[in-house]
Chain A
């Protein structure tokens, strides 16, 4: 490669900064970085509090220590949100309770996560067989487990978190009007999207990815 400048441009000048000015970091990435930036500050404050403990009376020290433990463990619910990759396994767990009832009309279940109602997906060839609720790093996920009407051995989980969770990796897929991200976590297909300030996760081990994407596009 030569680095001399004998050539003259054969094309219009290329204004790269202007052309890329509209490219912004995705919201999920911004959220993840902001949380990562904020977290160490909290840890430093917690450490500073711990250094004060010897100077305090025993009762106050115990109380402060308890506060520090709760604070450092994210017990205030304000710690960094887990990534979709970290919670996708929840959607693959077996149901812990019977399936929610079907509401009149047959399209929705009597189960919601915030403003989002879980679908029956009967017309898509699935039926709800159970549900469960889990808490991961202070975030609640409600999951409905579905079975394939034609092959009850095929299961999938549809989990909805109580907030938008950061996600990285995988591939973006646009299907119909839905903008989805698909990835593989521990060998399972995972499709995720955000709706109404919450992250929705559809996961299955033995269901073709295309079928999951189509289902997700109905719900997204």
Chain B
């Protein structure tokens, strides 16, 4: 059975970082998540059980994310209170448009309900096939397709400021945390 080449972490680093940011909604937490995932993956040899490297790494990152969410309440955060700092971000209005759009997009994805978020992240951010995404999320391909479709709609509405729910979709769906 083929083993994961540790170098795959470097090869797919940008993609893993985007996945982490979309899951966490924060650049800083994304950096932590990627580093933690790398540490876990490198801790012992990993066998690829029919998965390609990217699918394996996305699964490892997602597992680490879910684990971190479960333990977050038990762990103090090493984060300073920025209310004391002024101005926090004077360049916010002068960032390149593309960077600002990417940040807004990632924030909108991170705010999606969990099932939609994980489906969209797996397909559109990680670049997995619907089949691989279905395996990752332990569901059917058709379900993934549906969730990705709806997630894109929700994100598009969020980015245009039109947050009305789509037809046939319950309003106020609470976001759950895994």
Contacts and interface: CB of A to CB of B under 8 A. Distances in A.
B72 interface: no
Contacts, number: 168
Interface of A: 1-7, 9-14, 16-17, 19-20, 22-26, 28-30, 32-34, 36-37, 39-41, 85, 166, 168-176, 182-185, 189, 208-210, 213
A10 B169 CA distance: 13
Nearest to B157: A11
Given A25-B13, A36-B9, A209-B85, 12 more contacts: A10-B166, A16-B120, A20-B18, A20-B106, A24-B17, A29-B13, A33-B13, A33-B34, A33-B38, A40-B42, A173-B88, A182-B82
Q: Which applies to chain B's interface (DSSP): helix, strand, loop or mixed? A: helix
A20 B9 contact: no
B87 interface: yes
Candidate in A6, A33, A40 with the most chain B CB atoms within 10 angstroms: A33
B123 to A, nearest CB: 9
Interface in B116-166: 120, 124-125, 127, 142-143, 145-147, 149-150, 152-153, 155-157, 159-160, 162, 166
The 3 A-B pairs of least Cβ separation, nearest first, read A16-B124, A11-B156, A25-B17
18 contacts: A4-B146, A5-B145, A7-B150, A7-B166, A11-B153, A14-B153, A16-B120, A16-B124, A22-B99, A26-B27, A37-B6, A37-B10, A39-B42, A169-B31, A171-B80, A173-B85, A175-B87, A209-B85
